[in-house]
Amino acid sequence: MGFPYALLTIGCKVNRVEIDSIGAKLDGAGCLRADDPSVQAVFINTCTVTAEADKKTRKTVRHALKAYPDALVFVMGCAVAIDPEVYTSMSDRVRVVAKGEAAQVALDLLGGNDQDACAARALRADAAGEALRVGADYNTRVTLKVQDGCNNACTYCIVHVARGKSVSVPLPEVVEEARRYGEAGVKELVLSGINLASYDWEGADIADLMQALLNCYPGFRIRLGSVEPLDVTDKLIALMAANPGRICWHLHLPLQSGSTKVLSEMDRRYSADFYVNLVAKLRSAMPTLSLSTDIIVGFPGETDEDFADTLQVAKDCAFSRIHVFRYSRREGTPAAERPDQVPSDVSAKRSRALSDLARALADSDRESRAGTQELVLVEADGKGMTDSYHGILLPSGKYAPGQLVSVCLPEAVENGMYLL
């Protein structure tokens, strides 16, 4: 009989893909996901993007050691890459492992692959026996990690140190994985990476990869993950514009600041005007494009005027969703060494102001779409996600999870979600 295990992850969506891939491999070997003291193995994918993320990671490992007293705790990921001794010193039950080897290391140590205990395998694998992230424990929207690492070095970030230089998954491998998910009935694939649109495999860029995916299977739609502004090419815009319904007209385009001065000090390498003009170009090609973003408030040296510029750019771009982050001083980054750190109460005030604007912009974008038709991915009974990345509450029992259905978006809203 395979062993009971638990999965924990902190941080980005790439981390979620990586940890779920471990789960799928364990499921395929007859192991069972659980959440009780009987768990024998805990897998934790860590994050180190900010000081807060580091703190949360350490807390998560300590909690796992306490909650699962008989388990080996396998830790991996960015925080471990920077300082593995922090985690191995916590307990002799902690094992630092590489993500790609974690499942097999646990199987070797704890057993598994019991031929009589692999009923789950039929549910998690395709005809070739490959582990798939499908089923009740996984999202109906499947994310494919097609790229890792980053060649940039933003002054607030240490992920490029933890992840290393940009590397891309070979295009044929991505296409084959996508085809298998399509044949398994998956209706939405999300492309993900640390610096996604830097994808480059033998001259094929992210647009070429997306075209190959469109060609490989007709039954799913593609959603892009986070794309850096400087990586948005005319070729990518044209492909998205030419394939409504197959490619979601939603883009997550990190801004980080609406002040050109702050962007320069972040080493973001584009100006606020460049960003606003790019958004105008995108909306010219795709008038109903939904645009989400990340913005950091309280970066060292950010003035009231800089923050006012950020608010104005957010209004000009009419974001449908803003992920607001208060700057968190990350040791080992250039920004952490600056003497002009913004006081906590000031950054908190700015965070509240931007969050208020974010809610107003989201409401406005949602209202502008009422009465229009969009494809909705049913994520669970009574809940779905629109092409434009808005949540929608659906009649219970009407649609099966995993379906892709055409819906006329209603005017009614409940808790920030459309109410059909």
Rounded to an integer, the average pLDDT of 126-136 is 69
The answer to whether residue 119 scores a pLDDT higher than 80 is no
- The more confident residue out of 75 and 119 is 75
Rounded to an integer, the average pLDDT of 178-197 is 96
pLDDT value for 74: 97
pLDDT band at 116 (very low <50, low <70, confident <90, very high): very low
Task: Specify the pairing of strand 413-414 against strand 417-419.
Answer: antiparallel
The answer to whether residue 125 scores a pLDDT higher than 80 is no
Of the listed ranges 126-130, 213-217, 257-261, 322-326, the one predicted with least confidence: 126-130
The answer to whether residue 244 scores a pLDDT higher than 90 is yes
Question: Where are the strands (E) in 154-215, listed by range?
Answer: 167-168, 188-193
pLDDT digits (tens, 9 = 90+) for 290-312: 999 999 999 999 999 999 999 99
pLDDT value for 130: 62
pLDDT value for 111: 80
pLDDT value for 2: 84
C-alpha dihedral over 243, 244, 245, 249, to 10 degrees? 120
Percent of the chain with pLDDT over 70: 95
The DSSP call for residue 318 is T
Instruction: Determine if the pTM surpasses 0.85.
Output: yes
Classified as helix, coil or strand, 237 is: helix
pLDDT digits (tens, 9 = 90+) for 322-349: 999 999 999 999 999 999 999 999 999 9
pLDDT value for 118: 45
Q: Do the beta carbons of residue 402 and residue 378 sit within 8 Å?
A: yes
pLDDT value for 50: 85
pLDDT value for 368: 97
- Transcribe 78-125 into DSSP letters: HHHHH-THHHHTT-TTEEE--GGGHHHHHHHHH----TTS-HHHHHHB
C-alpha distances out from residue 298 to 85, 163, 295, 348, Å = 31, 26, 10, 8
The answer to whether residue 129 scores a pLDDT higher than 50 is no
The answer to whether residue 122 scores a pLDDT higher than 70 is no
CA-CA distance, 198 to 291, in Å (whole number)?
A: 20
Task: Specify the pairing of strand 391-393 against strand 383-386.
Answer: antiparallel
pLDDT value for 51: 84
Residue of 365, 367, 368, 389 whose CA lies nearest to 377: 389
pLDDT band at 355 (very low <50, low <70, confident <90, very high): very high
- The more confident residue out of 413 and 138 is 413
pLDDT value for 112: 60
Tokens representing 184?
């398994």
pLDDT value for 121: 42
CA-CA distance, 157 to 155, in Å (whole number)?
A: 6
pLDDT value for 113: 52
Percent of the chain with pLDDT over 90: 88
CA-CA distance, 227 to 161, in Å (whole number)?
A: 20
367: enclosing H helix or E strand? helix 344-369
pLDDT digits (tens, 9 = 90+) for 201-221: 999 999 999 999 999 999 999
CB atoms within 10 A of CB 36: 9
pLDDT value for 189: 97
CA-CA distance, 201 to 250, in Å (whole number)?
A: 24
